[in-house]
Amino acid sequence: MAGLLLVFAVAWSLLTGALRWLADHPWVPVLLLLAALAAGAWWVWRRAEAARWERIRASGLRYGLPQIDALHHRQFEHAIRDLMHRDGCPDAVQVGGAGDHGADVKATDPYGRRWVIQCKHRRAGPAGAAVGTPDLHVLNGTGRPVHGGDVVVLVTNGRFTANAVDFAASQRLHLVDRRLLGRWAAGSTPLWELLRAIPPPRRPTPRS
């Protein structure tokens, strides 16, 4: 009996001490409540985002070239991100903007390869200015050393100059021109199955 009373006394002392400390620091419960609300909101957002991508995957995301041509350049980056996500890259993210160091989209494919993609949208499609070597120089200088890319890609709804094609081949850069983009965006084949000479998988092939 004496031992039970001692335990009760210690517990009561700890409880009253904790209550006095909270009374002296009223901001602590507020911070804990805000943290709990933030964690709950983040969890709800993640669930909603996962459900959204599951709907996209189930319905099969598709873009036609006329639809792509009508996009704003930032929407074009979002479309490329969404296509990578559709193909099995759950971490695909649009990062283009000021200070992007030549990367507009980053993603990790199911085989563990890190993709760094620069997007060049041409409102006039193939009639717009061809993408040349200056853009590839930037991507080549940052794609691997800055962004850690295994597969470094420049994608456009337009065309490339002959010099750009030669430079890309010499530097192991991958080009996605209008023809290849149309095939990728309107179909269901992942980009890594459409490109040649990409690095081998970093991890085993996922089972279907």
Cα–Cα distances (Å) from 177 to 81, 142, 157, 180, 187, in that order, read: 16, 21, 6, 5, 15
Which pLDDT value is given to residue 25?
76
Which pLDDT value is given to residue 189?
93
Which pLDDT value is given to residue 10?
67
Band of the pLDDT at 70, cuts 50, 70, 90? very high
Per-residue pLDDT tens digits for 108-148: 999 999 999 999 999 999 999 999 999 999 999 999 999 99
Which pLDDT value is given to residue 58?
44
Given a cut of 90, is residue 154 above it in pLDDT? yes
Nearest to 89 by CA among 67, 122, 56: 56
Asked whether 96 and 74 are in contact (CB, 8 A), the reply is yes
Band of the pLDDT at 14, cuts 50, 70, 90? confident
* Mean pLDDT (whole number) for 159-165: 97
Give the torsion sign (CA, 14, 16, 22, 25): negative
Which pLDDT value is given to residue 67?
96
Q: Is the pTM of this model over 0.75?
A: no
Nearest to 109 by CA among 18, 42, 204: 204
* Mean pLDDT (whole number) for 67-80: 96
Per-residue pLDDT tens digits for 27-65: 766 777 778 788 877 777 777 776 665 655 545 799 999
Q: Which residue has the higher pLDDT, 86 or 19?
A: 86
Q: Which residue has the higher pLDDT, 1 or 137?
A: 137
